Amino acid sequence: MFRRTILLAISSCRIRRTYSALKLKKHVYDLNKSWESREDKPQLLVVTVSTLDGVPIERKAKKLFDRYKPGMKGKNTGLVYLLSIKDHKDRLTVGTGIGQTFNQSTCESIINSGHADYKKSYWNAGISKVLDNIASTVQDMPEISSASTSATTPHQCWHGPGFSAW
């Protein structure tokens, strides 16, 4: 009807197709499915990569946002969480329709929730904490009703420092 289902994209050699990784995929799928009942229909894309190959994380996250266009068209309610393992960087990019709820402070808190686990190379545990915090924020977020957000450019939110700083 209005969108395709987006699952967790695992392309890192360090996060293998383990039971934990499959649970994360299901978690993302279940979150997106549960948000379909909301009028504003937020949608989450989680992408892990081994390395950014020198591309700034902001550019890579925007490229993913523009390519997959998560969220409801016209309301711009998508979220993209990008984690680069070898570069020790992560970023949460959100659409302009939810940028007020997912402000810099909120995004910083959300992505920082995974940093302690990332520092220990517990990738799945860290991503799971980030997902739980995103879900909690969406649940508390007021729905965007009939007034739509016409902007199509993502609101660049917050990205964390390198893992070494954690």
Contacts of residue 148, Cβ cutoff 8 Å, sequence gap at least 6: 74, 75, 97
CB 5 within 8 A of CB 25: no
Give the range with max mean pLDDT: 11-15, 100-104, 145-149.
Answer: 100-104
High-pLDDT (> 90) share of the chain, %? 63
Q: Among 63, 65, 59, 88, which residue's Cα sits nearest to residue 78?
A: 65
Three-state SS for 34-90 is HHCCCCCCCEEEEEEECCCCCCCHHHHHHHHHHHHCCCCCCCCCEEEEEEECCCCEE
Name which of 19, 104, 86 is nearest 48 in CA terms. Answer: 86
What pLDDT was estimated at residue 17? 57
Gyration radius of the chain over CA positions:
15
For residue 53, CA distances in Å to 2, 46, 86, 150 come to: 33, 19, 10, 33
Q: What is the mean pLDDT of residues 83-90?
A: 93
Nearest to 159 by CA among 97, 96, 80, 75: 80
Pick the CATH number of 9-141+149-161 from 3.10.310.50, 1.10.1200.10, 1.10.375.10, 1.10.3660.10: 3.10.310.50
DSSP codes, 105-140:
HHHHHHHHTTHHHHHTT-HHHHHHHHHHHHHHHHHH
pLDDT at 115 over 50: yes
pTM as predicted:
0.83
- Please report which confidence band the pLDDT of residue 9 belongs to, taking 50, 70 and 90 as the band edges: very low
